[in-house]
Structure 1
Amino acid sequence: MRREAKFVQDSRNAQETKPTLKLCVQSLSSLISLTHSIKVFAVKWQLIRNKLEELNSGLISADASDQNPAVSGLIRAVTATVAESFDLARRCVDLSYSGKLLMQSDLDIILAKFELHVKRLNEIFSSGMLTPGQALIVSKPAIGACKDDMAFYVRDLLTRMRIADNDMKRQALVNLLEVVSEDDKYVKIVVEFRDLVGVLVGFLNIQEQVVQELSVKVISVIAEFDSYKGSLLSSGIIAPLIRVVETGTLDGQKWASRCLMRLTQNADNAWSVSAHGGVTALLKICSSEGSTAELIVPSCGALRNVAAVEEIKRFMVEEGAVSIFIKLVRSKDDIIQMNSMEFLQVIALGDEITRKMIIKGGGIQALLWILDPLTTQSNKSRETALRVIENLFFSSAGSIEMLVNCGFMELLLHYLQNVDASLQEIALKVATRLCSTSEETKKLLGDAGFMSEFMKLLDAKAFEVREMAAEALSSMVMVPKNRKRFLQEDQNIRSLLRLLEPEEGNLGYKKFLLSTLMAITGCNTGRRKIMNSDHVKNIEKLAAAEISDAKKIIRRLSTNRFRSMFSGMWHP
């Protein structure tokens, strides 16, 4: 009852007291509170409450200049509309209205009046009759505040942004950036205020650099959420972002390109970026001498995303993307190097024409430069270079020949011997893949000394490394020349047989070890060395355990002059 009596008194004050800015704000605040208790016509009252909050925060933002005729006239009009609204609100709370259609009509009239008041307030602010010099500032809600308080604060910031005073816009944007960066709930509220998203997008088109930069930073935070990207796109964000990329400050360009990278993660937006000249603008950033990693990396990311559309990828290639990014591969910045290599991989994978353009443009030499131990590249860059070389150039005999002629085998062997475990594992993966390309390549690997390195890695701690080394070795010994070289080292056979000990566990890599031994039993020298090893019984044990390859090896060892050596031990 006390609460209802207070609202009745506020209504009387609004009608009877000479309206002032202070009283007007008080009556608006009371009406806003009352609307939250209304259970009927919820949508209508939500629209009215939005306008009430906008008016309230706008008037709070004004200084005490209600002596101005235009201002005092607005205050009187707002006060009168508030008084009418109190009566409608009371009847909705009490359910004492005469009819739904009539009440809906009355609420539509009230909403239209408040919309006119908001428009008039914005005009007064734009004219300079109200200034923010002594403005009251709505305090940021405490952590854990209710959604209504958070929404009121955001609406207050929106009102300040609409005022044609750049200082107030800047401060409001600073405050907005702070809250959306701290709490995801504010991001949701911003998106729910479609007007606010529209204002932020509009700020991207103005000349005031700080306002533009702050706006694109707020938009960048919103763009991090997949569920809110649709709101940005429906507000026409693409074209303004591209304009910032083209003409904005370095900071603005950085954040705008980040936004484009996030928005183009959905390939459906690629055409919109391309249609507004975004591809050309992003390529220009990547080719500019003054561009930093902060600019190039997100621009490259956006271009990599839109390259999913074949027509856009072809346009980029025609615009010189290959030469631009080969040059960036030689950058001194590791992040630029890695992103550039990955971009080249994206546009050339499965595209023979582009792959040849990369080769012709010196792409192989640029990638091998990163692998050169005499340069000071990071291991991450070198790992990326190895992956890109594997993915782009192992499918063609001509490309492999060029790699060999440029010293790739020596570099790969160097990193296979590297003490960095991650880099060594990548080098082993690449070497294993190289083994599967052709018999000629296997011969080259054998001549370069890869088999001895594979043997060493059979004792590695990591299971994945041991298995890859065993796989590569089994592939290598299929070539007679490599098999002969392998048998020249007596310890090779002993090592393989030792690794077949039952206590080593039934690991998958044993199938590759058995495959290697199977190849070796194809000659007398190989069979004799296996028979003379102290660990030959390991094969017998595996054969007894019904391991198919082990049984096949025993059968080969049991033929002709070797059969007597197994008499009493094994009967095939």
Structure 2
Amino acid sequence: MNPPTPSKPSPPSSSSYSSPQTLLALINNILSIVLLSSLTIKSFTGRWQVIHSKLTSLGSSLSSLSSSPHWSENPLLQSLLPSLLSTLQRLSSLSDCCSISSFSGGKLLMQSDLDMASNSLSHSLHDLDLLLRSGVLHQSNAIVLSHPGPCSSKDELSFFIRDLFTRLQIGGIECKTKALESLLQLLSDDEKSASLVAKEGNVGYLIHLLDFNNYGQNSIREHATAALSVLASANDESRKCVFEEGGLGPLLRILETGSMVLKERASAAVEAITADPENAWAVSAYGGVAVLIEACRSGSLVTQTHAVGAIRNVANVEDIKNSLAEEGAVPVLIQVLGSGATSSAQEKAASCLAILASSGEYFRALIVQQRGLQRLMHSMQEVSNSDTLEPVLRAISSLSKLDPSARLLSSSTTFIIQLGEFVKHGNVVLQQISASLLASLSISDGNKRAIGGCMGSLVKLMESPKPVGLQESAAEALVSLLTVRSNRKELVRDEKSVMRLVQMLDPKNEAVYSKKFPVMVVAATVGGGSSHGCRKRLLAAGAHHHLQRLAEMKVAGAHKALQRLSGNRIINTILGRTWRE
């Protein structure tokens, strides 16, 4: 004999209860009824076993809820509890229909109704568990999303973030929008809060909100994208969190198909994420190379700037580097240099071209084929910002390794003169690259005379221990310019430069790490015909004594330079008289 089925109360209307306590009492009452009736089910028993397991879990969650000290104060329960009550009432009705073994109704319809009720129950369980795990039910004053003040403690800020993300995941569209607005305000007011958001919040859910089909609300996607952009840009910890939670792929999709505002925010996030070399490889895995190139080609100025930055970030990854060439990145980067792009975009494009040009002859030939060298040379005339000039000159330097490029650069008087100006007035990076180019290019005597005025700066650069290679580049550039007689005369007329050069020969002077460099310059200064005046000035400044010591120390080139300096008997007579005096 079957046990008697408990009588079921008629479902109350929403107006018959108002307080959370009343709602919870009704839910517990009907839950006990449905739990009991689910044990006597005769039809669709497989589905009811799953539902019974969920109902048991629900009982445990409701027990934890009622034991929380401030559960009734949370406004999220105002929508969660009525929804749960409605689901249980539906299950109660369905259990009546399934209590007989020979179900005669529409089986497919019943299966669908049971699945829908079971899914609804799962959603309620998820939201309840989320509330319980967040800890917000154990603290009062969680009714209003009040923004923490500047003196708030870390614990208060952590609670605010947990409460905020709880509302974001459980609430409706209006609640989600307000939660996102509060999150953006928090990130805007306090940059340090990004790490705490990454730790206490659910960044994965923020990424979930980027789904174009979610809620049909552009504002939600815009706010979520903006928040992720800030988190990705704030610091290493929050950027790592966005990447590890799978944010790069959805952000690239938004960059491909989103609105202009969404693309701008997504591009900033992608650039920030790819700034970490450990993340850059993933761009290729998500098919992001073509997306970035298209954003660079047709995006707004903001989007273009960030997209070029992301391309620059990934250009050092070997596989992606090849994809950049295959997808046509080079002509797009060259176009950015010559378009109305922002100065930041131009600097990043030049930097990317410099990376590619330094990668090998294939990329150098590709850039030259697209008239990239001419565009880079023109950029030198257009920009004055050293942040842009540095990568432009680095790219030109790499391209100069191709013979056709070297001939074009060597024959350009404008270019050579500008190198001389960089040597005199540029920062140390521009000085080093310019000196290196002057040393390697086959410059005409006329152009060497035109930039003779930079020789004093080159002598001064020979005293600089950093960056590595600067002393050598400056010395080699000087040796090249001193093949012209008028430049040799001009150098020795510069008393400061002569004194610097002689002081660098002194074995006790440790500023120049290799004495062969000043020896090279002295040898070039007194070389060639009609160098009597040059030798006389260097002798008078004391170069002979230092060269003699360096020759004894077997410094490369010192003996030959000493022979050139000693010249003839007249000079030797002058030298003897000078030392006696």
Could you say which TM-score interval applies, normalised by the shorter chain? 0.5 to 0.7
- Assess, with a 3 A threshold, how the Cα gap between structure 1 residues 300 and 493 changes in structure 2: closer, same or farther: closer
Q: CA deviation at 1:56?
A: 4.1
2:224 maps to which residue? 215
2:274 maps to which residue? 264
For residues 73 and 481 of structure 1, what CA distance do their matches in structure 2 show?
94
For residues 245 and 289 of structure 2, what CA distance do their matches in structure 1 show?
21
Q: 1:437 aligns with which of 437, 440, 444?
A: 440
Q: 2:315 aligns with which of 283, 292, 307?
A: 307
Which secondary structure does the structure 2 equivalent of 1:359 belong to?
A: helix
Q: Does 1:237 align with 2:247?
A: yes
Q: Does 1:354 align with 2:357?
A: no
Q: Does 1:60 align with 2:63?
A: no
1:328 maps to which residue? 336
Which secondary structure does the structure 2 equivalent of 1:449 belong to?
A: helix
Q: Does 1:536 align with 2:540?
A: yes
Aligned amino acid, residue 143 of structure 1? P
CA-to-partner distance for each residue in 1:172-200, whole Å, 9 max, x for gaps?
Answer: 10101222333456434433346x22221
- Assess, with a 3 A threshold, how the Cα gap between structure 1 residues 234 and 431 changes in structure 2: closer, same or farther: closer
1:413 maps to which residue? 417
- Assess, with a 3 A threshold, how the Cα gap between structure 1 residues 265 and 242 changes in structure 2: closer, same or farther: same
CA-to-partner distance for each residue in 1:189-246, whole Å, 9 max, x for gaps?
Answer: 433346x222211111134221111112222232233234443334322221122112
2:572 maps to which residue? 563
CA-to-partner distance for each residue in 1:394-448, whole Å, 9 max, x for gaps?
Answer: 323322112234x2x423413533799336x55543332124326xx1x426644
1:340-419 alignment, distance < 5 Å: 340-372=349-381, 375=382, 378=385, 380-390=387-397, 392-405=398-411, 407=412, 409-414=413-418, 416-417=420-421
Q: CA deviation at 1:570?
A: 5.7
How many residues align? The count is 470
Aligned amino acid, residue 411 of structure 1? F
Q: CA deviation at 1:285?
A: 0.6
Q: Does 1:177 align with 2:184?
A: yes
1:36-75 alignment, distance < 5 Å: 56=71, 59-61=74-76
CA-to-partner distance for each residue in 1:80-117, whole Å, 9 max, x for gaps?
Answer: xxxxxxxxxxxxxxxxxxxxxxxxxxxxxxxxx99966
Q: Does 1:279 align with 2:278?
A: no
Q: CA deviation at 1:454?
A: 2.7
Aligned amino acid, residue 203 of structure 2? V
Q: CA deviation at 1:321?
A: 0.6
Quick check: 1:246–1:281 contact (8 Å CA) kept in 2? yes
Moved more, 536-545 or 216-225: 536-545
Q: CA deviation at 1:72?
A: 8.0
2:210 maps to which residue? 204
Q: CA deviation at 1:331?
A: 2.0
For residues 480 and 460 of structure 1, what CA distance do their matches in structure 2 show?
15
Q: Unaligned regions of 5+ residues in structure 1, if any? A: 1-17, 26-47, 75-112, 124-134
- Assess, with a 3 A threshold, how the Cα gap between structure 1 residues 340 and 546 changes in structure 2: closer, same or farther: closer
Q: Does 1:525 align with 2:530?
A: yes
Moved more, 199-208 or 477-486: 477-486
Which secondary structure does the structure 2 equivalent of 1:305 belong to?
A: helix
Identity %: 23
For residues 560 and 201 of structure 1, what CA distance do their matches in structure 2 show?
83
Moved more, 266-275 or 49-58: 49-58
Quick check: 2:226–2:265 contact (8 Å CA) kept in 1? yes
With normalisation by structure 1, the TM-score equals: 0.68
Aligned amino acid, residue 374 of structure 2? Q
Aligned amino acid, residue 455 of structure 1? M
Aligned amino acid, residue 161 of structure 1? L
- Assess, with a 3 A threshold, how the Cα gap between structure 1 residues 477 and 420 changes in structure 2: closer, same or farther: closer
Which secondary structure does the structure 2 equivalent of 1:141 belong to?
A: coil
- Assess, with a 3 A threshold, how the Cα gap between structure 1 residues 264 and 469 changes in structure 2: closer, same or farther: closer
1:284-295 alignment, distance < 5 Å: 284-288=294-298, 291-295=299-303
Aligned amino acid, residue 393 of structure 2? L
For residues 323 and 66 of structure 2, what CA distance do their matches in structure 1 show?
48
1:152 maps to which residue? 159
- Assess, with a 3 A threshold, how the Cα gap between structure 1 residues 214 and 483 changes in structure 2: closer, same or farther: same
With normalisation by structure 2, the TM-score equals: 0.67
For residues 270 and 466 of structure 2, what CA distance do their matches in structure 1 show?
43
- Assess, with a 3 A threshold, how the Cα gap between structure 1 residues 479 and 274 changes in structure 2: closer, same or farther: closer
1:253 maps to which residue? 263
2:449 maps to which residue? 449
Which secondary structure does the structure 1 equivalent of 2:377 belong to?
A: helix
2:95 maps to which residue? none
Which secondary structure does the structure 2 equivalent of 1:198 belong to?
A: helix
For residues 394 and 552 of structure 1, what CA distance do their matches in structure 2 show?
32
1:486 maps to which residue? 487
Quick check: 1:209–1:248 contact (8 Å CA) kept in 2? no
Quick check: 1:477–1:486 contact (8 Å CA) kept in 2? no
CA-to-partner distance for each residue in 1:444-491, whole Å, 9 max, x for gaps?
Answer: 266442552233436869964999998667535756982534345585
Quick check: 1:307–1:346 contact (8 Å CA) kept in 2? yes
1:316 maps to which residue? 324
CA-to-partner distance for each residue in 1:506-553, whole Å, 9 max, x for gaps?
Answer: 474686454322234445632x32454496142256458778678875
For residues 448 and 469 of structure 1, what CA distance do their matches in structure 2 show?
20
For residues 252 and 331 of structure 2, what CA distance do their matches in structure 1 show?
23
For residues 460 and 234 of structure 1, what CA distance do their matches in structure 2 show?
50
- Assess, with a 3 A threshold, how the Cα gap between structure 1 residues 296 and 498 changes in structure 2: closer, same or farther: same
Q: Unaligned regions of 5+ residues in structure 2, if any? A: 1-16, 25-62, 88-120, 132-141
- Assess, with a 3 A threshold, how the Cα gap between structure 1 residues 460 and 49 changes in structure 2: closer, same or farther: farther
For residues 541 and 568 of structure 2, what CA distance do their matches in structure 1 show?
19
- Assess, with a 3 A threshold, how the Cα gap between structure 1 residues 185 and 310 changes in structure 2: closer, same or farther: closer
For residues 405 and 72 of structure 2, what CA distance do their matches in structure 1 show?
68
For residues 522 and 303 of structure 2, what CA distance do their matches in structure 1 show?
55
CA-to-partner distance for each residue in 1:45-79, whole Å, 9 max, x for gaps?
Answer: xxx9999889949833566x99x9668899xxxxx
Which secondary structure does the structure 2 equivalent of 1:145 belong to?
A: coil
CA-to-partner distance for each residue in 1:243-273, whole Å, 9 max, x for gaps?
Answer: 2112222222122222222222344434433
Q: CA deviation at 1:345?
A: 1.8
- Assess, with a 3 A threshold, how the Cα gap between structure 1 residues 371 and 283 changes in structure 2: closer, same or farther: same
For residues 151 and 54 of structure 1, what CA distance do their matches in structure 2 show?
19
Quick check: 1:476–1:482 contact (8 Å CA) kept in 2? no
Aligned amino acid, residue 404 of structure 1? S
2:134 maps to which residue? none
For residues 273 and 303 of structure 2, what CA distance do their matches in structure 1 show?
16
Aligned amino acid, residue 563 of structure 1? N
Which secondary structure does the structure 2 equivalent of 1:398 belong to?
A: helix
For residues 307 and 278 of structure 2, what CA distance do their matches in structure 1 show?
18
Aligned amino acid, residue 326 of structure 2? E
For residues 52 and 284 of structure 1, what CA distance do their matches in structure 2 show?
56
- Assess, with a 3 A threshold, how the Cα gap between structure 1 residues 388 and 50 changes in structure 2: closer, same or farther: farther
Q: CA deviation at 1:283?
A: 1.1
Quick check: 2:74–2:143 contact (8 Å CA) kept in 1? no
- Assess, with a 3 A threshold, how the Cα gap between structure 1 residues 54 and 508 changes in structure 2: closer, same or farther: farther
Quick check: 1:54–1:156 contact (8 Å CA) kept in 2? no
Q: CA deviation at 1:330?
A: 0.3
Q: 2:144 aligns with which of 137, 140, 143?
A: 137
2:520 maps to which residue? 515
- Assess, with a 3 A threshold, how the Cα gap between structure 1 residues 306 and 555 changes in structure 2: closer, same or farther: closer
Quick check: 1:329–1:366 contact (8 Å CA) kept in 2? yes
Quick check: 1:330–1:366 contact (8 Å CA) kept in 2? yes
